[in-house]
Amino acid sequence: MLVAQAQTWVLALAATAPTPGEELPFNPDDVTPGPLGFFVFIFVAVATGLLVMDLIRRTSRVQARARIREQLQAEIAAGKAADTAAGEGPEGSGAAVPADAHPDGQAAPEAQPAADEKKTAD
């Protein structure tokens, strides 16, 4: 059944195919994709534009985070260098550790705003 339909379809196509001397039923230069092709092209163009904008946004965010990370590392290194040059390092100072000091060496949460104010005053 399916083979018979396929043969009929192939014969119908062969009968309608133009021979080399025949004129085509349409002008090949006038064939256009139509409105559907236009809308598909616009959709692809808009989607590509949005993807490029997202890529630029993400790239700039990563670069900004890298710059901030480098600045923080430079500030930490400068602070350690200043501490060791002034003899105020944790090993060489001999200063007592406050009772409310954090076990990791960080300031207590209530003392943090005072430390931030001190940094901005310098």
**Residue pLDDT, tens place only, 58-85:** 999 999 999 999 999 999 999 888 888 8
Question: What tens digit of pLDDT does each residue of 3-28 get?
Answer: 777 777 777 766 666 566 677 677 76
Predicted TM-score of the model (pTM): 0.42
pLDDT the model gives residue 107 = 55
C-alpha triplet 19, 21, 24: angle, nearest 5°: 70
3-state helix, strand, coil in the chain (%, to 5): 65, 0, 35
Q: Which helix (H) or strand (E) holds 15?
A: helix 2-16
Tens digits of residue pLDDT in 83-122? 888 775 455 444 555 555 555 555 555 555 555 555 555 4
CA 102/CA 122 separation, integer angstroms: 24
